[in-house]
Amino acid sequence: MMSKQETSNGPFRSLWKFFASVRLTIVLLLTLASTSIVGTLIPQNESPEAYFNAYGAFFYRFFDIFGIFDLYHSWWFQTLMLMLALNVLVCSIERLSSAWGIIFVRHPSFNLSRFRRLEKKEEFTQDCRAEQLKSFYQSVISRSFGSLRVEDTDSGYAIFGEKGRWTRIGVYIVHLSVLLMLIGAMIGSVFGFEGFVNIAEGETVQHIRLRTDNAVRQLDFAIRCDDFDVSFYENGAPREFRSSLTIIEDGKPVLSRDIIVNDPLKYKGISLFQSSYGELPPQKQNIGTPEKFTLVFTSKATGMIYEKKASLGQPIQIPEGIGTFVVNEIRNSFHFRGQDLGTAFIGTLQQADGSPAEVVLPLQFPSFDKMGPIFNKNRKDAVIISVAGVEAKSAPAAVRYYTGLQVAKDPGVWVVYSGFILMIFGCYMAFFMSHRQICVDVKDFGEKTHIMVAGTSNKNKLGAAREIKQVARMLTNL
């Protein structure tokens, strides 16, 4: 029968073995790689309309259920990341427990017979007694290997040296770096966000729109765009666009800085990246009282077109006896059927029969008068009037831009960076450093001494063999 302890530890031990499997590591890595390819082929965080039009109703619902449109934040992708992190952790603990006695032992044991059985070793003879060589050999091994121990044997003594034992943890440092990067990625995925916002020059915003679900997120501070500049190459392509931003907190500016592409502004863990820009629609401008303007009269009867220079309040005699027209007023905002048509000239047409008719001429819609007598039913359909040009006292409206910012927060980024640094250090230890041991077996043969030099290494066997030969040559130079 099973003991109570074995029964209670059974499920835990099975789960431990499951996560300690290298096969699980391979399956998880292949799954994450294949799903990442899917996330590359299918654009992420687009609008639902774009996905619906691209994939149709069935595949849209299928992809939406499994979070394919925001794959890296989906519950199942994060579960895979968590499983990989647990797998790396358990594998590291499992293998480190077996290597613990080698790496962290205070007094390592040396097996002389093991060194004597090695095939690759250096052997030579010295014309002196073994005791005469002892101090010199100890100094040579100490300089080359640091750690040193001398043991007496039946026919002499053996000098053991060791170095680089700690390099065996290089692979575990790599495991730890992978674990940190996975943890950092999950922290950023759960607690971070990424959004965008467009800010016109001179305006201030305190909210952004998230890229994942297009929801609005309120920030703890406001962002003001003080200025935006863009320069162009000769072919018209943008060379550089720069935004002058100010961070406002509690109604007071706390930080001002210019940003360009790949040079973000960072504040309270949130990064503001320059990502795009655009021109704003021209503002409706108050043209004031123009000095002169040009009116165009088109006769319905003959099709003749007449241009006349005029000014505010000046009557114009229309040819063909059609009548007289005078501009009485200039409105900077004229509304028609709920729409603001902008600046408009309001005038009176004194027709040939003496009856007056009101005429509206919006500057932005030169063909407006072709619609006929919509304001005055007494208007005779004899002439079409439009404004061809205005000599305004005020300057034309300057081009205004808005800056497009990418706003991102990733609290796990420093965990990921730490993982990268550890990975570089761990890979260097794992691939370019090794744990090496050396044994100098010294035996007395009368007035002569037989010396054997042998060594082991957990990797880079060729390099270790060259070092053994070099040490042997140093030992012969007594």
Q: Is the pLDDT of residue 33 over 60?
A: yes
Which of 9-23, 81-95, 206-220, 242-256 has the weakest average pLDDT?
A: 9-23
CB atoms within 10 A of CB 6: 10
Q: What band does 287 get if pLDDT is binned at 50, 70 and 90?
A: low
pLDDT at 1 over 50: no
- Given this model, what pLDDT does residue 255 score? 94
In terms of pLDDT, which residue wins out, 368 or 167? 167
Enumerate domains of the chain plus CATH numbers: 4-90 (no CATH), 193-282+400-409 (2.60.98.10), 292-391 (no CATH)
Q: Are strands 335-336 and 305-310 parallel, antiparallel or unpaired?
A: unpaired
Q: For residue 279, what pLDDT is reported?
A: 81
Altogether, the residues listed in the chain come to a count of 478
Give me the pLDDT at residue 403, please: 92
Confidence of residue 7 (pLDDT cuts 50, 70, 90): very low
Q: What is the pTM of this model?
A: 0.60
pLDDT tens digits, 314-336: 899 988 888 899 988 888 777 77
Q: What is the pLDDT of residue 3?
A: 47
Per-residue confidence (pLDDT) for residue 264, from 0 to 100: 92
Question: Averaged over 225-246, what is the pLDDT?
Answer: 85
